[in-house]
Chain A
């Protein structure tokens, strides 16, 4: 078999979404939901997407942030803020980084 390692995403490599996936999984389990049940709550076509997200691959579409927050019993603003810190760290830093005077002032 050809060596696939060269192109396989290394889960041990720095992946800002890996931590987020673990966090999402913990929220789901805390809510007492299976992956399939969460997918049903969110009206997803395929529940394997939940597993994919919890493994740090892909991201929640922005137009579903609120639905996810509600399904996982999370306060929307805090939930989205956490998502943004992983999905778009640059934007998050500009908006919320406390070392940024402009961001901190807001």
Chain B
């Protein structure tokens, strides 16, 4: 999935490379000027109008040997996540006589069960579950290739019925951290191998022998401090599952399938226990990640034995319900006037659905996992998180309104202002505090329909949808729905006057792009907007979201949306 949201451009433009943060930068350098000569492939030209400030990874030089630091970090993090899920693995790595690297995961018996390597610049993964290695252009590319090519080996007649793979309808539905996907791949291999499951010792939360090989308190504490970083890469849905499933009250009511297993006493596992994180929950999260990226899973015998008819729910159902909760919360809250009321109603429906399915469908053929009435809390938790997400949107809307109050007044006083809002005088204010508020004046459904139609050719994830909706609002404050599309289709010279784009602004953008990996860049006809997506999750009362814009002499605008604290570091806050 691209990190760049490309808005449609009706004007043909020349393809040119943006002089990223170079000296004497001008807006005309960032935006492609109307083309004097249209290229042979106009679609290509339009795509190239996206000024890409995102640092790109250059192709791996032929002379590079060994793993990159980031690749090693991801591989070791995979091992730690597996440990959190209760799987003890050992790893080893080395170089061939030509300098090509390899990295293996081994079970407790020191038998290799996954082999990663890079040969002549191409990556491969092979495992006990594969007849042939899977090749890809990167470690993370292997995940998608693996999901396409590898199906579980049918070890017993009828085993295939327990395979769950919902790649077709879930791919890209959830934003997956690459390292999480990598961990899910190894987890998938683990689950697909009965021999591995049987041979690999796992620890239990209340194992009496846990102290026998327990690490020191200091070590466990240090390790626990790092767990948050590892768990942070799991998608939000999985983290919500972690929160609910790790609740002691929940785990008490659910039989632990790992109970009674041997305890290897690994330090990481002890650290995980010290944080109260349920290994079962981590495993479930990995399963969710695996499913969401299309990796196959096979049920473990432990799950099958410990299931009860009353407390069964397939992973496919779970994932579907979580996705429904997310989508329903978003669509209801964005598209209706009384968002909170309908959101609550929708959530109740979902909970009713879950309970109904729990009661009448205990014999699903797909992989079964345990659940209980507390699963409803999971859906509540997820729905609530997206309510917060939408409130953030509303806060942004209000910020947009506050951004151009004078313009709004001008529009109200001059109904025949054919030039649109951008032609009106703009205020000097450039920074706005975004406070969560409940805005009851949401755009109506017709607006959404019109807007969706304009972007129907784009495949956007939920965050992208949020961005596109909000950015449209930023561009069309206090306009009628008929005007919504106009700024995107009509080239014009904006007259917004913000602070001039100067060296400080340049340094801040440079900082933003170098510091965060999740910066979305939206290119509009006369504005480029840099959105620090993770800021919406990091934001709280002490760390509010701010917006900041700079203008150029030629009318172009560069805007950023991110944490106030970051902007304060560069003295951008008035």
Which A residues have a C-beta under 8 Å from some C-beta of B? 1-4, 6-9, 11, 15, 17, 34-36, 45-52, 55, 57-59
Q: A11 to B106: give the CA distance in the assembly, Å.
A: 13
Q: Tell me whether A36 and B223 are in contact (CB under 8 A).
A: no
Residue contact A45 to B112, C-beta cutoff 8 Å: no
Whether B132 lies near A11 (C-beta < 8 A) is no
Decide if B266 is an interface residue (CB 8 Å cutoff): yes
CA A9 – CA B266 in complex, angstroms?
13
The CA-CA distance from A6 to B110 in the complex, in Å, is 15
- B111: CB under 8 A from chain A? yes
Alpha-carbon gap, A9 to B268, bound state (A) = 15
The tally of CB-CB contacts under 8 A between chains A and B is: 99
Contact between B96 and A35, CB atoms less than 8 A apart: yes
A-B contact pairs, 29 of them (CB 8 A): A2-B76, A2-B229, A2-B268, A3-B219, A6-B219, A7-B79, A7-B89, A7-B90, A7-B266, A9-B91, A9-B92, A15-B110, A17-B110, A36-B97, A36-B98, A45-B132, A45-B133, A46-B126, A47-B96, A51-B96, A51-B100, A52-B102, A55-B92, A55-B94, A57-B92, A57-B106, A58-B112, A58-B115, A59-B111
Interchain CB contact under 8 A, A52 and B104: yes
Q: Is the CB of B92 within 8 A of A11?
A: yes
Which residues in A have their C-beta under 8 angstroms from that of B119? 46-48
Give every chain A residue within 8 A of B38 (Cβ-Cβ). none
Best-surrounded residue of A6, A9, A51, A58 (most CB of chain B within 10 A): A6
B490 to chain A, nearest CB (A): 52
Q: Which residues of B contact A50 (CB under 8 A)?
A: 96
Contact of A51 with B111 in the complex, beta carbons under 8 Å: no
- How many of chain B's residues touch chain A, expressed as a range? 35 or more
Assess whether A46 is in contact with B133, with CB atoms less than 8 Å apart. yes
* Contact (Cβ within 8 A) A34 B98: yes
What is the CA–CA distance of A52 and B112 in the complex, to the nearest angstrom? 10
Task: List residues of chain B with CB within 8 A of the CB of A36.
Answer: 96-98
Nearest first, the 6 closest Cβ-Cβ pairs linking A and B are A48-B117, A48-B102, A51-B96, A2-B226, A9-B90, A6-B267
B100: chain A residues at CB < 8 Å are 47-48, 51
**Interface status of B493 (Cβ within 8 A of chain A):** no
A57 to B115, alpha carbons, bound, how many Å?
10
Do A57 and B104 touch across chains, with their CB atoms under 8 A apart? Answer: yes
In this complex, which of A15, A17, A47 has the most chain B Cβ atoms within 10 angstroms of its Cβ? A47
Pair B112/A57 contact, Cβ less than 8 Å: yes
Chain B 76-135 interface residues, beta-carbon cutoff 8 Å to A? 76-77, 79-80, 83, 88-92, 94-98, 100-102, 104, 106, 110-112, 115, 117, 119, 124, 126, 132-133
Q: Which residues of B contact A7 (CB under 8 A)?
A: 79-80, 83, 88-91, 266-268
Interface of B is mostly: mixed
From B76, B94, B266, residue with most partner A Cβ within 10 Å? B94
Chain B nearest CB: distance from A17 CB in Å? Answer: 8
| Residue of A whose beta carbon sits closest to that of B227 | A2
Q: In the complex, A4 Cα to B97 Cα: how many Å?
A: 26
Minimal beta-carbon separation of A31 from chain B (angstroms): 14
Given contacts A7-B83, A46-B117, A52-B104, 10 further A-B contacts (CB under 8 A): A3-B267, A9-B91, A11-B92, A34-B98, A46-B126, A48-B115, A48-B119, A50-B96, A51-B96, A57-B92
Docked CA distance A35–B73 (Å): 27
Asked if B230 is at the interface of the complex by the 8 Å CB criterion, the answer is yes
In the complex the two chains form, what is the Cα distance from A46 to B96 in whole Å? 11
The minimal Cβ–Cβ distance linking A6 to chain B, given in whole angstroms, is 4
Task: List CB contacts (< 8 Å) of B130-185 with chain A.
Answer: 132-133
Flag if B215 contacts A6 (CB, 8 Å). yes
Q: B357 → chain A, closest Cβ, in Å? A: 39
Q: Nearest CB to that of B90 among chain A residues? A: A9
Q: How far is the CB of B73 from chain A (nearest CB, A)?
A: 7
> B222 near A: Cβ within 8 Å?
yes
